[in-house]
């Protein structure tokens, strides 16, 4: 029983950065902008968090910096895709590479290290310690951001389904010409979706750095791509996307507990599990059937 709870709590914690990034990815893609730069958003968020939290001593300032960094990454994405009309995939590949390089450069320049930065404090404050004393909730919740991520799922769903911005995001992702003829500024709506996406990725990055209490080289470790597959798995709907993230988190959590219990399966094989699962899920569940119709298409159409 205790072991099961530990696996579940682990799943929730592990899925937190996935959830944050994937919610952002869903927003971006619902507006019609393909987004595989979630990885860059996470990594830059983590870097900004670690640097600012270390310099200022406040994890909360770090959090703000992380959100700003995520927004900056997606602003670049928006500028290149929406105004320079560059291919969304190529822009994202560039941003992902740029993020890796920036991380490496910052470690070297600021801390003269090739691998990791100095230790930073997590978000655990006095009041949070009180929460952690609670029997079940304490184990499950881990850090405040785990809770924030969970609350953001219905918030993003509400944004998409119930607000004016959400309606416009859906409209420009499906049929930008129709939205334009009704006076909706297509590019402005896509900008808004991308900036929100950046905010969410930044939060995810802050979680990573705070969880490890430091920034390490390449610490996003493909999580942004898992988030991309969760978006497809969840058919661009926040609640389902979250389920996808939880699933990946659960697999990873299981893998960790299997490894420590050493039931005779080679560790490397078990470690592959989440990634193999990603492939299987993408192959099976990832029909693009429900993809926003205008996904990846430049606007306005034509040259």
Query: Residue 116 forms beta bridges with which residues?
Result: 216
Q: Which stretch binds other proteins (CB under 8 A): 82-90, 169-177, 249-257, 268-276?
A: 169-177
| Spacing of C-alpha 114 from chain mean position | 25
SS (H, E, C) 63-100: HHHHHHHHHHHHHHHHHHHHHCCCCHHHHHHHHHHHHH
Cβ(33)–Cβ(163) under 8 Å?
no
Residue with tokens 């009041």: 127
CA angle 196, 138, 233 (to 5 degrees): 40
Smallest gap from residue 186 Cβ to other proteins (A): 10
Query: Residue 48 forms beta bridges with which residues?
Result: none
Smallest gap from residue 291 Cβ to other proteins (A): 11
Assess 170 for contact with other proteins (CB under 8 A).
Answer: yes
Smallest gap from residue 302 Cβ to other proteins (A): 8
Smallest gap from residue 190 Cβ to other proteins (A): 15
Q: Which stretch binds other proteins (CB under 8 A): 38-46, 140-148, 159-167, 194-202?
A: 159-167
Assess 234 for contact with other proteins (CB under 8 A).
Answer: no
Provide DSSP, 171-184. Answer: HHHH-HHHHHHTT-
Question: What mask of x and - would describe binding to other proteins in positions 183 to 222, judged by CB under 8 A?
Answer: xxx-------------------------------------
Judged by beta carbon, residue 130 or residue 155, the one nearer other proteins is 155
Provide DSSP, 2-14. Answer: HHHHHHHHHHHHH
Euclidean distance between CA atoms 111 and 205, whole angstroms: 19
Q: Which stretch binds other proteins (CB under 8 A): 82-90, 108-116, 181-189, 274-282?
A: 181-189
Assess 167 for contact with other proteins (CB under 8 A).
Answer: yes
End-to-end CA distance of the chain: 61
Assess 162 for contact with other proteins (CB under 8 A).
Answer: yes
Residues at the site binding other proteins, with contacts judged by CB under 8 A:
158, 162-164, 166-168, 170-171, 174-175, 177-185
């Amino acid at each position: 029983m205790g072991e099961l709870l530990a696996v579940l709590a682990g799943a929730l914690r592990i899925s937190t950065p996935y959830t944050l990034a994937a919610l952002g990815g869903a927003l971006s893609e619902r507006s019609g902008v393909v987004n595989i730069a979630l990885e860059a958003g996470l990594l830059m968020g983590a870097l900004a968090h670690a640097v600012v939290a270390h310099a200022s001593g406040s994890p909360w300032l770090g959090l703000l910096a992380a959100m700003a960094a995520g927004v900056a990454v997606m602003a670049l994405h928006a500028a290149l895709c929406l105004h320079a009309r560059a291919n969304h995939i190529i822009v994202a590949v560039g941003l992902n590479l740029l993020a890796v390089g920036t991380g490496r450069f910052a470690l070297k320049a600021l801390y003269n290290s090739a691998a990791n930065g100095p230790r930073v404090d997590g978000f655990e404050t006095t009041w949070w310690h009180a929460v952690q004393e609670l029997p079940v909730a304490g184990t499950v919740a881990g850090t405040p951001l785990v809770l924030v991520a969970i609350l953001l799922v219905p918030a993003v769903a509400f944004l998409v389904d119930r607000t004016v911005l959400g309606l416009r995001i859906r409209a420009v992702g499906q049929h930008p010409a129709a939205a334009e003829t009704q006076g909706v500024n297509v590019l402005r709506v896509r900008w808004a979706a991308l900036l929100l996406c950046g905010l969410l990725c930044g939060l995810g990055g802050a979680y990573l750095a705070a969880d490890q209490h430091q920034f390490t080289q390449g610490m996003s470790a493909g999580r942004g791509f898992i988030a991309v597959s969760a978006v497809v798995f969840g058919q661009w709907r926040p609640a389902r996307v979250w389920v996808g993230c939880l699933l990946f988190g659960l697999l990873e959590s299981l893998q960790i507990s299997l490894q420590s219990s050493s039931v005779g399966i080679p560790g490397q094989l078990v470690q592959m599990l989440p990634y193999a699962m990603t492939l299987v899920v993408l192959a099976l569940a990832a029909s693009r059937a429900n993809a926003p119709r205008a996904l990846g298409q430049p606007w306005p159409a034509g040259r």
